[in-house]
Amino acid sequence: MYKYSKDGVSVLTVLDKRKQKKNGLFPIKVQVIYNRKQKYYSSGQAVSIQDWERLPHAKSRQLSEIRRNIENSFSLIKLQVEILSFQGEFHFDTLNARLGKYSELSLNTLFLKKLEELKDNGQANTYLSYKGALNKIEQFAGKHISFHEITINWLNRFERHLSASGISYSSMGFYFRNLKCILNIARKDGVIKESQYPFGKGKYEIPVGCGRKLALNLEEIKKIVTYTDGTKKTEMYRDLWFFSYLCNGINFRDLLYLQYSNIINGEICFIRAKTARNTKRSKIIHAVITPEMQRIIKKWGNPPTSSETYIFPFATGIENPFEKVKLVREVITECNQILYKISCRTGIPRITTYSARHSFATVLKRSGVNIAYISESLGHSNLAITENYLASFEAEERKKNSILLTQFDI
């Protein structure tokens, strides 16, 4: 009787003949169809098959009242469908929440919806991050967590559970930020009220890890790049770390997928994969190819058969997003094992592939290079991010310098 269809979602009123009532009438329902799935919502009305056929044009008082009630139910559902479709966020769980069908909605289902979106978008790293958070949450609270359970007290208990499991505060931060994002979606969609939202000032604060100081000085970097145990594997991963350091602290995801087309006028030019989706934050980073970088490319790189050839022989170009993540993680694991061995044998602090980025920034800072140049080289969107990035290392320098004030025996 009433029909609406837009952006792949259809809403219509139907006579549900699957189950006849004791009085011989059939319920009238509002049917919503999306991606070949269908849900039925009660209108609270029921008629016979004969009256259903007469209903669109009936003038009797009783049928006219039934028609108005059906129209009201249809219009309410149609409005919510229109809003969700306009936002590009239609999902049955969200529609149920907007219509007050909370019994079918849980924290878990919103997490799964988010995972589905991330997978469809090929955002493999973010997908795995949310998947990890959901796994930890379900280990703590089960497979069906209602939103009214998520209180400040619940979050504190979850934090204690993670801490007892040996999870670091840095890792906790990832889990809680993902959880906060899901609750923000729930708040925006009207699943929870503002008063139910547990994050914010005076409420629950996400743990922040202090992190280890990963930056090396030039003397320590020299020990790494001159170390050898005579094996090809050690020298290759040592050189990849050095290349990352020289190439503006490029991370290994970007390094492994550099192509010869990224080399322009003696520089490696690239956009960080981390910011590539956000056009406002994306910046082209320029790294001058030093003689040391050129030697590493010549020693370990692929021959430059075409501009699309990958510089280093790891990626094939046929990996899907999840295979890319797997490849990068495998290379990082191998490299970190080699770096651990080098740090043990040279006496320097234990380092990882990420130490190259921190070391690049701090060596320049300690050498007096303008922070605006460092910020541009790192690909940061503003100076505040760079200043915060370097803050812990500057504090370390201040502590060292303060000791000089009382070295009376020198």
pTM metric for this prediction: 0.67
Domain end point (choices 90, 121, 147)? 90
Task: Identify any residues that bridge with 310 across adjacent strands, giving them in sequence order.
Answer: 259
Distance in angstroms (rounded) separating the CA atoms of residues 355 and 241:
9
Q: pLDDT tens track of the chain, all 410 residues?
A: 789 998 899 999 999 998 888 888 999 999 999 998 999 998 888 999 999 999 988 888 888 888 888 988 888 899 888 888 887 878 888 888 777 654 456 899 889 989 998 998 889 999 999 999 999 999 999 988 888 889 999 999 999 999 999 998 888 999 999 999 999 988 887 778 888 899 988 899 998 765 555 788 899 999 999 999 999 999 999 999 999 999 999 999 999 999 999 999 999 999 988 877 665 667 899 999 999 999 999 999 999 999 999 999 999 999 999 999 999 999 999 999 999 999 999 999 889 999 999 899 989 988 889 889 999 999 888 888 788 777 666 666 666 666 767 767 65
Co-location of 319 and 358 in the same domain: yes
How close are the terminal C-alpha atoms of the chain, in Å? 95
pLDDT score at 144: 85
Domain end point (choices 138, 164, 196)? 196
Residue with token string 């059906």:
70
Distance in angstroms (rounded) separating the CA atoms of residues 280 and 288:
24
pLDDT score at 139: 95
Angle between helices 218-225 and 321-346 (to 10 degrees): 100
Q: Residue 288 falls within a domain, yes or no?
A: yes
Q: Residue 409 falls within a domain, yes or no?
A: no
Residue with token string 């050690």:
234
pLDDT score at 401: 67
Q: Residue 50 falls within a domain, yes or no?
A: yes
Looking at the structure of the chain, the number of domains it has is 3
Co-location of 381 and 237 in the same domain: yes
pLDDT score at 410: 56
Q: Residue 48 falls within a domain, yes or no?
A: yes
Q: Residue 201 falls within a domain, yes or no?
A: no
Q: Residue 96 falls within a domain, yes or no?
A: no
Q: Containing domain of residue 17, as a range? A: 3-90
Q: Residue 319 falls within a domain, yes or no?
A: yes
Co-location of 183 and 321 in the same domain: no
